[in-house]
């Protein structure tokens, strides 16, 4: 299960109701901040998330509305010494702009903070034994724009009743079977993992796209996602303007969700020109399970469905 907290859902400039782009993705004890628009620090506090365990930021691209919040966040971390190491993942151009920003922020004698810049390319960028994150290219204005796939690994449930019947005691023997190792039980019998593990169950898949100028190249990566988060900066009435500035419309996003067979569609990067109602009116006839989240809204992403958090 993934948890997502929408910290900022506006496009380009903040509105009264919406802050600049930032989303927290939570998986078990890991937190991943995707983009960090101006004002993200305050949204982290308002959401109740705070700064604990926040040591990784994934940048979709280097436009200022997606990175300026890093200045204040890093300054706070450096002065409070809340963490020892802070890792920023992004394309080459995005990281260049962030380094320029940090040269200004950390010029005033703040305590040293170990900032690790990780230049990403399409493919895996982070993983542990239960989940992986991969980057994929996105067409927008400027080089090095990326989206991210959060994928929980497929698991096989442990069938305790079968293990009991085969004489496998509770403890390390069962753990080894889950890890794929055969074990010997009383009487000398060998028990193999396939005897006590159920059918594979795929984990949930969350696809995050920041700003995008087209959707045809996103169909494969979005296929079968349990949740797709993507921009909807424009409506179809301004489709030509959207294309001119490297953005898509709510209708295009909904069309992608429908064609890719996703479960839930979250539309973000909402222009101040449009209300939530207007965006939904365009998207829902194309893809019914469309959500336009508001700042600080929380959702849980499970296999096959999404549900609102508390």
**Residue 135: beta bridge partners?**
123, 148
Size (the chain), residues: 310
At a CB cut-off of 8 Å and minimum separation 6, what does 288 contact? none
Return the sign of the alpha-carbon dihedral for residues 136, 121, 39, 273. Answer: negative
Q: What angle do CA 272, 273, 274 make, to 5 degrees?
A: 90
Q: Which of 148, 173, 150 is nearest to 163 (CA)?
A: 173
Annotated catalytic residue, options 65, 211, 226, 295: 65
35 catalytic? Reply is no
At a CB cut-off of 8 Å and minimum separation 6, what does 137 contact? 122, 145, 146, 147, 217
CA 163 remoteness from chain centre: 37
CA distance 70 to 57: 9
CA distance 294 to 127: 29
Longest Cα pair distance anywhere in the chain, in angstroms?
Answer: 75
CA distance 31 to 14: 24
Active site residues: 65
């Amino acid at each position: 299960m993934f948890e997502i907290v929408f910290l900022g859902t506006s496009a380009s400039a903040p509105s009264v109701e919406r802050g600049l782009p930032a989303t927290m993705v939570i998986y078990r004890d890991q937190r991943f901040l995707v983009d960090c628009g101006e004002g993200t620090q305050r949204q982290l506090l308002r959401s109740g998330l705070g700064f604990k365990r926040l040591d990784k930021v994934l940048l979709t691209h280097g436009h200022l509305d997606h990175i300026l919040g890093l200045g204040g966040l890093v300054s706070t971390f450096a002065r409070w010494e809340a963490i020892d190491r802070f890792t920023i993942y992004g394309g080459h151009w995005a990281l260049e702009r962030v380094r320029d920003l940090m040269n200004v922020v950390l010029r005033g004698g703040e305590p040293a903070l170990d900032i690790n810049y990780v230049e990403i390319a399409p493919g895996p960028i982070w993983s542990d034994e239960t989940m992986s994150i991969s980057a994929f290219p996105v067409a927008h204005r400027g080089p090095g724009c990326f989206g991210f796939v959060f994928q929980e690994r497929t698991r096989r449930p442990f069938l305790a009743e079968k293990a009991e019947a085969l004489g496998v005691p509770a403890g390390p023997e069962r753990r080894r079977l889950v890890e794929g190792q055969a074990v010997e039980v009383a009487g000398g019998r060998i028990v193999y993992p396939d005897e006590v593990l159920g059918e594979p169950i795929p984990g949930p898949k969350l696809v995050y796209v920041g700003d995008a100028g087209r959707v045809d190249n996103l169909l494969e990566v979005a296929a079968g996602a349990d949740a797709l988060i993507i921009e909807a900066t424009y409506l179809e009435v301004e489709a030509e303007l959207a294309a001119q500035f490297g953005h898509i419309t709510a209708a295009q996003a909904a069309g992608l969700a429908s064609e890719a067979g996703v479960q839930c569609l979250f539309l973000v990067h909402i222009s101040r020109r449009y209300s939530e109602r207007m965006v939904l009116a365009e998207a829902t006839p194309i893809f019914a399970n469309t959500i336009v989240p508001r700042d600080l809204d929380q959702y849980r992403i499970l296999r096959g469905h999404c549900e609102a958090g508390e």
